[in-house]
Amino acid sequence: MRLFEETLSIAINSIPRGNTFEEFFIEMKSVPWAIQGVTFCSEEGVLDLDVTRTEYELIVKGSLEADFFVECAKCLKPVVCSITAEIRRMYSWNPDMLSDSEVEPVSHNDGTLCILDPVREAIILSLPAMPLCTEKCRGLCPSCGINRNLEECEHGFEV
């Protein structure tokens, strides 16, 4: 299969009939992720794609493994977070199948199947809700703003 990293899309004419599994090492910088508050720290992401093509359908299963920087929810220090984002989507050429809300049309505009949106959504869902640099992070002082992991201030602690 041919994958275009700049748009994270698969050339439809490169998808054979039947089931195809392929692993791609994608350069994370080249994909327009645009996810707020998240920076990729691995140069490469591993994208596994398992695509089934039938007469009317494309079933895309896949996962992306990559490392990200997210901010510690308490002290804002960047924390490395490894995630596996999983996707499963069904696309169809047959208009009759599109009444099923799980099935999306195959767009013919440029002969590619874009999986950027599903992968982006899966990344967002895989991010921890409250990342912490360490479980005991003392956070920032609400009065003076110093990082209480590194310094003491006169404002004391709530226990």
Site for Zn ion, rule CB under 5 A:
72, 74-75, 133, 137, 141, 143-144, 153, 155
Question: In this complex, which beta carbon is closest to Zn ion, that of residue 80 or of residue 153?
Answer: 153
Cβ 37 to Zn ion shortest distance, Å = 15
Look up tokens 């899309």; give the residue. Answer: 9
Structure token pair of residue 149? 């992991």
Cβ 136 to Zn ion shortest distance, Å = 9
Question: In this complex, which beta carbon is closest to Zn ion, that of residue 78 or of residue 124?
Answer: 78
Cα separation, 20 vs 148, in Å, equals: 52
Give the count of beta carbons closer than 10 Å to the beta carbon of residue 112: 20
Q: For strand 39-40 and strand 57-71, is the pairing parallel, antiparallel, or unpaired? A: antiparallel
Report in angstroms the alpha-carbon separations of 42 from 16, 30, 81, 85.
31, 12, 10, 15
Cβ 132 to Zn ion shortest distance, Å = 6
DSSP classification of residue 107: P
Cα separation, 135 vs 145, in Å, equals: 20
Cβ 67 to Zn ion shortest distance, Å = 18
Question: In this complex, which beta carbon is closest to Zn ion, that of residue 89 or of residue 138?
Answer: 138
Question: In this complex, which beta carbon is closest to Zn ion, that of residue 70 or of residue 137?
Answer: 137
